[in-house]
Amino acid sequence: AEAAELEGKTEAAAVPQARGDRRSAHMMLSNAWNWAKKHRRKIIVGAVVVGGAIYIGRKLYRRARASLDDLLNSDHLKNDLLRQISLGRSAEWKMTLHYQRNQKVSDMTVKKNLENLRTKLFELFEINDLTQTLRDNSHQLSPDQKSAYFNQIKIQCLSRAVSSLYALHLLLLLHRLEINIIGKQMFGDDRRAGTEQEKAHDENYAFLSSTRYIQEAEGLRVIVKGVTRAVEACAGELQPQHELSLEELLTLLKDIASKADVELINDGLAVNTALPDNVQDLCDNERLSPDGCRLVAQFLSETRDFLESPQFVSVFRLVIDRALKKTVERLSDKFQPGQRFPLARTFGRFCQLSEEVLSSTFSNAYIEDFANTPAVNELSEMVYFPPDYEQGKISKTPSIGALMERLQFSP
């Protein structure tokens, strides 16, 4: 009986205590909620800032990690492979490795110089000035004058986007041609005497400096002029409010490229587009001897032969076609397949994409796609290797084979 009485008293005492705990917890939650409502703007802004910082941090980490992986998987493994090959491997193996290295060096050299190319190319357009004038004088301009400004902006935005693709891929292919033309001579430089190596280096440098032509205003004007005429022919009648789908936009860009090819690439015109006329200037800049100048002229003559070849035209059309598809795919984050939208809504995105095309930071998706195009590698091999050279006959040891696969080489 005493135990039962004691238990009852304990339960009776516990009830108020539990109620007090609940009231205390409720009060704490209420105070927290009132504080959150009072400072909700600060909380929202803080959450956005923290979330944005985390997102940007993760994105930068992935890019940095990808760049680090590229270095580890390329330079380290390549050096390991070089050490193995140097220990008595065949000349064919060395030549193949030298070829693979040259392709990477060629593309990376182009990438490093893209910032300068982008600056000089964008200086040939007046998009910012036209947009600013239209914005500042909107109330003073008549409807016809506004329409004229919008049409100029349309032509310039499309021209800059397509010109960026042409300048990049023409430069990439020209570098591949010239690097591989001198590749065989560079491969044999280690067997020459020191003085001969220095002379060969000067000659090779003078030859490769011809690629500066389409990186400077003079050569870029040729590209911009040809592309602008193509844009005017294909899109001149389209009003900025004209609606189209992504599929129709791709067709329009392909039509522009076909017209531009007639102006810049077809029937041997790639020579005039890509190379300077005066060989002597290249020789004078490096103070070459007459023999050295003749060698540079010989290299340039071989380059012209390839630029005029149907193989080059076919490969160039292929890489431009792939680049145009990639450009339209990048618009899919703004427009859904099948959705119709005014052409004017693409102007700002095209300006952004032209900057991405000529980006020299982190990974450039256009350069990566170019390097992974089989036709590009076939053209490069045709230039570099002798006609009777058969890479398929080179046997791979297991260790070298594994390294080659990790390097994504395909000898």
226-241 residue pLDDT tens: 999 999 999 999 999 9
Q: Which of 12-26, 34-48, 296-310 has the lowest mean pLDDT?
A: 12-26
**Both tokens assigned to 180:** 């591989």
Domain extents in the chain: 102-394
Q: What is the pTM for the complete model shown?
A: 0.74
Q: What angle do CA 192, 86, 181 make, to 5 degrees?
A: 50
Q: Is the pLDDT of residue 313 over 60?
A: yes
Looking at residue 293, its pLDDT comes to 87
Maximum average pLDDT range among 168-172, 182-186, 360-364, 377-381:
168-172
- Better-scored residue on pLDDT, 405 or 169: 169
pLDDT on residue 400: 38
Q: What is the mean pLDDT of residues 78-88?
A: 53
Which stretch of DSSP H or E encloses residue 244? strand 243-244
pLDDT digits (tens, 9 = 90+) for 324-342: 999 999 998 888 888 999 9
Listed in sequence order, the residues at least 6 apart from 313 whose beta carbon sits closer than 8 Å to its beta carbon are: 261, 265, 266, 270
Q: Give the contacts of 325 (CB within 8 A, at least 6 positions apart).
A: 250
Segment (H or E) for 120: helix 114-122
pLDDT in tens, 124-136: 999 999 999 988 8
Alpha carbon distance 281, 299 (integer Å):
15
Is the per-residue pLDDT at 142 higher than 80? Answer: yes
The pLDDT of residue 292 is 83
Q: How confident is the model at residue 396 (pLDDT cuts 50, 70, 90)?
A: very low
In this model, does residue 158 exceed pLDDT 70? Answer: yes
In the chain, % of residues over pLDDT 90: 49
